[in-house]
Amino acid sequence: MSGSAWGDGTRSVRAGERPASPGAPLRPSPVFAAPFHLGDLPPRAGGADGYARTEQPTLRDFEAAVGELDGGRCLSFATGMAALTAAVLACAGSGDRVVLPSDGYYTTRLLAAEELERFGIEVSYVATPEIEEYAAGGGLDDARLVLLETPSNPLLDVCDIAAVTRAARAAGALVAVDNTTATPLGQRPLALGAHMTVGSDTKALTGHSDLLLGHVSVTDDELFRRVKGFRDRTGSTPGPFEAWLGHRSMSTLDLRLARQAANAAAVSELLARSPAVTGLRWPWREGDPSFALASAQMLRPNGVVSAELADEAAVSRLLSATRLWIAATSFGGVHSTVDRRAQWGGDAVAPGFVRFSCGIEDTADLLEDLSAALDALG
C-alpha cells in the first residue's frame, strides 16, 4: 500500500503494507519456517515459498516497507556490514577499483583492507568533503564503484550525492550511499541518482538497540538480481523474527527521529556554550560546515552530534557525572549515549572526541543532566 503524498508518520507505519483483511491481524505475525511445503508436483503452486534463505513472507513484508521509504526495491541483510559487503562484492571483482570514504565507518575500511584487497579489488580512499572535487576531476574514470557515506560517521561531513553521481555515471561507475546516519526518512539517495542506498538498520531505522539488521535498496532490476543472488548464495539473509521486529520497530521511526532531532538541537546549543567543549558538529546547526549542503540535500535532521572534550580523562569524568547519558557505541537508539571514538582505534580523531547519540528522553531531563556533567569538568 503506498501513498506518495503521505507524511513521514503515515509512511513509517503503513509503507509496504497490504490492504487489511477482516479477521486478520493488522500486521502479519512472523512466519517461522526454514523449508516450506513444496506441494506434490513441480512447478510449485503459484510461486509459493520454498526455503527461507531466499524467500520468506515476513522478510518480504519488511523489505516492502523499507523499500517504499527508500523509493526502491529493498533487500534486507543480517547486519549493516553484510549489506555493505553485498553492495560492493555483487558489483566489483578482481582487477576492479572501488573508492571508499577515508573518514567513514571504520569497519568499512577494515572490510577493504582485510577482505576486498585479498580478492584483488583495488581500493582508493577519499575523504567525504573532497569526493565531489575528486569525482569532477576524473578521479572515478576507471572506478567500478564509489561508496559515499553522508553524513559521515563520526565526523558528520556531508557530500553532494547528486553531483558525485553525475560524475560517476559519466565515468561509468556505480554509486552506493551508506545512508545509515540519515535514515530513509532523512535522505533519499536513489532519488538523487545513486544506484544503491545501503543502511545499517541496527541504528535509527529500528532504533531500540536490540537488533542487528542492514539493507540495500536499488531501482535497477539487474542490480537487484545481482545483490539478491549474492545474498542468497552467501547466506546473509536475516531470520523472520529479526525482520518482524525490524518492521514493528520502524513504525515509530518518524516519532523517534523527531524527538532525537529536537534533543540534538538543544544539546548542541548546550555544548556550544560550554567552555569544556570544542569542535562541535551537528549538520543542522547554522554555522556548521555541513549546514548548507545538509539543508539542501537532506529531508530532515537526526540525533547524532559530535564534539571534542579535552582528553580521555575529561570524557571519563563526564560519564561518571551523568545519570542519563550511557557509554555505548552505535547510535540512533531510544537511549542517549556517548561514545569516545578513539577507544576503538581506526578513526582519525582526538582522544577526547565523542559522538553523542540523542535518544528520545525528555529534552529538559537530558539538558539538566548533561549540563551538570559538563559543569563537573570545571
Ligand X SMILES: Cc1ncc(COP(=O)(O)O)c(C=O)c1O
Residue 174: helix, strand or coil by DSSP?
A: strand
Expressed in angstroms, the distance from the first to the final Cα of the chain is 55
Counting contacts by CB under 6 A, is residue 81 touching ligand X? Answer: yes
Peptide bond into 43 cis (omega under 30): yes
Which cell goes with 118? 585479498
- Nearest approach, Cβ of 79 to ligand X (angstroms)? 3
Counting contacts by CB under 6 A, is residue 263 touching ligand X? Answer: no
Taking the CA of residue 98 as centre, how many other CA atoms within 13 Å lie in the half-sphere pointing to its CB? Answer: 30
Give the span between the Cα atoms of 350 and 167, in whole angstroms.
34
Q: In the complex with ligand X, which residue's Cβ is closer, 80 or 240?
A: 80
Contact track, ligand X, 23-62, x by CB under 6 A: ----------------------------------------
Q: In the complex with ligand X, which residue's Cβ is closer, 243 or 276?
A: 243
Counting contacts by CB under 6 A, is residue 236 touching ligand X? Answer: no
- Nearest approach, Cβ of 107 to ligand X (angstroms)? 6
- Nearest approach, Cβ of 80 to ligand X (angstroms)? 2
Q: Which of 200, 222, 23, 18 is nearest to 104 (CA)?
A: 200
Counting contacts by CB under 6 A, is residue 77 touching ligand X? Answer: no
Counting contacts by CB under 6 A, is residue 200 touching ligand X? Answer: yes
Of 74-82, 93-101, 139-147, 166-174, the segment contacting ligand X by CB under 6 A is 74-82
Counting contacts by CB under 6 A, is residue 180 touching ligand X? Answer: yes
- Nearest approach, Cβ of 327 to ligand X (angstroms)? 16
3-state secondary structure 306-330: EEECCCHHHHHHHHHHCCCCEECCC
Q: Is 169 exposed, middle or buried (0-12, 13-18, 19+ CB in 10 A)?
A: middle
Q: In the complex with ligand X, which residue's Cβ is closer, 187 or 202?
A: 202
Q: Is 300 exposed, middle or buried (0-12, 13-18, 19+ CB in 10 A)?
A: middle
Among 70, 178, 254, 339, binds ligand X (CB under 6 A): 178
Residues 195, 176 contacting (CB under 8 angstroms): yes
Contacts of 273 (CB under 8 A, 6+ apart): none
Of 26-34, 80-88, 258-266, 357-365, the segment contacting ligand X by CB under 6 A is 80-88
Contact track, ligand X, 101-140, x by CB under 6 A: ----x-x---------------------------------
- Nearest approach, Cβ of 313 to ligand X (angstroms)? 26
Contacts of 10 (CB under 8 A, 6+ apart): 3
Positions in the binding site for ligand X (CB under 6 A):
79-81, 84, 105, 107, 149, 153, 178, 180, 200, 202, 212, 214, 330
